[in-house]
Structure 1
């Protein structure tokens, strides 16, 4: 059995350098939108923050609406985030539990299962 999330994250990590290069090279309105997202990245991001930014940029690049697929929880407790994710059909989630420490969890939910 292949675990979808680990396979997805592995491939995302593999393609991240090329995607970041593509996002940085875009011009025009698309380039401005992508640069705004890229500027939100800290100078030394951990792998989860990098994944989060790449997924957001990829959605903008593909013209997808981020509000329906991405669920972001800032300074949320694990229980309230888990309750909301349990009713999601499909979502990519990002939970920031402690902003000062940079604690960050990112993953995929399909039919309420993380």
Structure 2
């Protein structure tokens, strides 16, 4: 159970601790390394998505539309991750879920096995996090 795991090793669920430990072991920043690899491979992934035919081939193209409209790097990375989900025959809506009200979010999060949540409040602030077995394991992330 993730609850027992979280109680036993709480440092594994603190993003600053994870980044610090990764940097101590590899002398690289985990987050910047991951994001640079997505950026480096995004052109190749786009070509792979375009080669896929049929219904599954058209779906990543619709997911990639915000990339063409917006020059924001974070939007591009989000589209690539969602496109990869579709390419692997997964539904990106099951991975990334957006919630408007905090009350609705807690009920739905408790029913989630694995996912990324975006909690939007009325003052336009957003909270990004990761859910495992209905437990928020990482929260307060910058973006998806």
**TM-score normalised by L of structure 1:** 0.62
Contact 1:72 1:94 in 2 (8 A): yes
CA distance, structure 2, for counterparts of residue 52 and residue 106 of structure 1: 15
Cα distance in 1 for partners of 2:41, 2:126 equals 20
Larger helix share, 1 or 2: 2
Larger RCO: 1 or 2 (CA < 8 Å, sep 6+): 1
Aligned length: 105
Deviations along 1:72-103, one digit per CA (max 9) or x if unpaired, are 35xx48xx39x649856642345678xxxxx9
Looking at structure 2, the residues matched to 44 and 36 of structure 1 have their Cα atoms a distance apart, in angstroms, of: 14
Q: Partner residue of 2:4?
A: none
Q: CA contact under 8 A between 1:48 and 1:106: conserved in structure 2?
A: no
Q: How does 1:1-114 map to 2 (within 5 A)?
A: 1-2=21-22, 6=31, 7-73=33-99, 76=100, 80=102, 84=106, 90-94=114-118, 109=130, 111=132, 112=136, 113-114=138-139
Q: TM-score, normalised by structure 2?
A: 0.52
CA offset digits 1:46-86 (Å, max 9, x no partner): 1111111111110010011323321235xx48xx39x6498
Q: How far apart are the structure 1 equivalents of 2:53 and 2:120?
A: 31
Whether the aligned pair in 2 keeps the contact of 1:5 and 1:107 (CA below 8 Å) is: no
The alignment yields a C-alpha RMSD, in angstroms, of 3.7
Q: Distance in 2 between matches of 1:105 and 1:9?
A: 20
Task: Extract unaligned runs of 5+ from structure 1.
Answer: 98-102
